[in-house]
Amino acid sequence: MTLTRRVVGGSVLLTVSSGLVRLLSVITMPVLTRLLSPQVYGVAALIGSVVSLSSVIALAGIDTTYLRTYHSKQEPRGPVAEHFCWRFAIFSGLLAAALGGMAWHALPGDSIDHSDGLSAVVAIGIFIAPLSAMAQVRALVMGRHSALATSTAVAGFVGAVTSITIAFWRRDVSALLVPMFVGYLSPMLMLGMPQLQQLARRSQLTANDGIELIKVGFAGVITAPMYWLLTSSDRWFLQHFHGSDAVGIYSIGYSVAIIGMMMNTAVLAVWQPESAREYEADEARARISLGALMSRLIAAMAVVWLAATAAGGDLVRLLADERFHSAARYVPYIAGGVFFYGVLRLATTGLLVAKQLKWAASWWLAGGVLCLLLNLLLVPQHAGMGAAITQSISFAFIAAGVLATAQRIYRMNLNWIRLAPSLIVIFVIGLYMLRPWHDSAAVSLLMKLPAGIAVAVGVAWAMAPDWCVKGVQLLQKKALR
């Protein structure tokens, strides 16, 4: 397979599975937002943020090391590197779980449940989250995209059924936490892990080899907390200044706005190992092939931002209980953060293949400082809107810095002649489509649909005319048959 077919094929599978999961969350939203209070959503969002932060710190970038070194031409590589990475994730996960559970118990605030039971739940989540991430990376380096897509879809279905069932029985945070844990456990059970007997064996690496492996992804020690800061700290600012209800309302807008993340996650999951493999095969060719495909992927992510911006507010009004309708205003800005995060991750490719991720860490650190300052400035006065704007600006800042730096270190041939006009057109139309076109949310969605399709088709022909021609020819052949 060519690079394009591997990336696009794997991305489509993962996007479809993520889309099914997102569809299930949309279907369950009307029921859950009526059964569960904004405060319950707020507590679940806070727990999710703690688990997310602790687990990514525990990984310390070892998942990136796994992706980059498994197919490398240089030693240590292959099963030897895999063995080291998994042992690291297990031991660091145990340590992070112990510390995270105690940290939750020690958090200040009367509105936060500090019970031993909930602290134990937090600790379990922190331990299994890194292992879940490693199981997914293992599937990616093995090229098992279909298996990964299946596990994602199964986890989403089981989680949705579990959430509805528990919500009718107990209208507390367990209705949202149990499905989250199902999402972590499913990849481990369905995709598998290296055998425990194998992991129990002593590593074949020297101490220096282990340090070199850790260095490859060690920038994750900075980028992972900064990612949490940008995507989760806003809940804590809202909790401090406006209470759990504000967090719960914001989380509904967030859950709709990050619809683009399902495509980003799918594309980036396949993109990272395949870009490293392409670079190892032919460095000069990779500048052209990676640059061309990256240009098209950025445009596709922009189209997804347009879809989220146009439809997100209407979906909140259509599906969520009236108590959550104010979240519709946050959607375009949070979706903007999702878009810039996707651009940022694609731009990091040049630093990843050159093993110069320290520059990415520097930009993430600067973006984290900017995020803190903006949250302190905007959230007290503008609540959820301030948090959403902060996220979009912060990710845009980091994306611009990483892209500029990566292009200096390993320049990829991006097609700016086609990409820049496409992005401008999408942004202008997005400004026009972010507001409702009708008092009825359903009618507004239907009115916007033809315009959105027209823009998507136009961008596709502008960015990838060869793909469009092949698609038309394929449809013609099927029609003739």
For residue range 271-316, what is the model confidence (pLDDT) as tens digits? 877 887 788 778 888 888 888 889 999 999 999 999 989 988 888 8
Q: Out of 28-42, 300-314, 413-427, pick the least confident.
A: 28-42
Q: Is the peptide bond before 108 cis (omega within 30 degrees of 0)?
A: no
Q: Which range among 154-158, 214-218, 370-374 has the greatest average pLDDT?
A: 370-374
Q: Which range among 37-51, 148-162, 404-418 has the greatest average pLDDT?
A: 404-418
Q: What is the pLDDT of residue 354?
A: 78
Give the residue, 345 or 243, on which the prediction is more confident: 345
User: pLDDT at residue 175 above 70?
Assistant: yes
Q: What is the pLDDT of residue 2?
A: 67
Q: What is the pLDDT of residue 429?
A: 93
Tell me the per-residue pLDDT of 74-101, one tens digit each, with 9 for 90 and over: 777 777 888 888 888 888 888 888 888 8
User: What spatial distance separates the first Cα and last Cα of the chain, rounded to whole Å?
Assistant: 26
Rounded to an integer, the average pLDDT of 188-196 is 82
Structural contact between residues 6 and 274, judged by C-beta atoms closer than 8 angstroms = yes
Q: Out of 145-154, 204-213, 275-284, pick the least confident.
A: 204-213
User: pLDDT at residue 197 above 80?
Assistant: no
Tell me the per-residue pLDDT of 122-147, one tens digit each, with 9 for 90 and over: 888 888 888 888 888 888 888 787 88
User: pLDDT at residue 26 above 80?
Assistant: no
pLDDT bracket for residue 115 (50, 70, 90): low
pLDDT bracket for residue 164 (50, 70, 90): confident
| Token pair for 391 | 């996220």
Q: Which range among 38-42, 232-236, 439-443 has the greatest average pLDDT?
A: 439-443
Structural contact between residues 459 and 426, judged by C-beta atoms closer than 8 angstroms = yes
Rounded to an integer, the average pLDDT of 52-57 is 80
Q: What is the pLDDT of residue 300?
A: 92
Q: Which range among 25-34, 113-122, 368-377 has the greatest average pLDDT?
A: 368-377
User: pLDDT at residue 218 above 70?
Assistant: no
**Every domain of the chain and the residues it spans:** 36-196+204-218, 232-481
Rounded to an integer, the average pLDDT of 50-55 is 81
Q: Which of 226, 249, 246 is nearest to 371 (CA)?
A: 226
Q: What is the pLDDT of residue 476?
A: 80
Q: Out of 215-229, 363-377, 392-406, 419-433, pick the least confident.
A: 215-229
State the chain's mean pLDDT as an integer.
83
pLDDT bracket for residue 479 (50, 70, 90): confident
Q: What is the pTM of this model?
A: 0.73
Rounded to an integer, the average pLDDT of 18-31 is 77
Rounded to an integer, the average pLDDT of 10-30 is 77
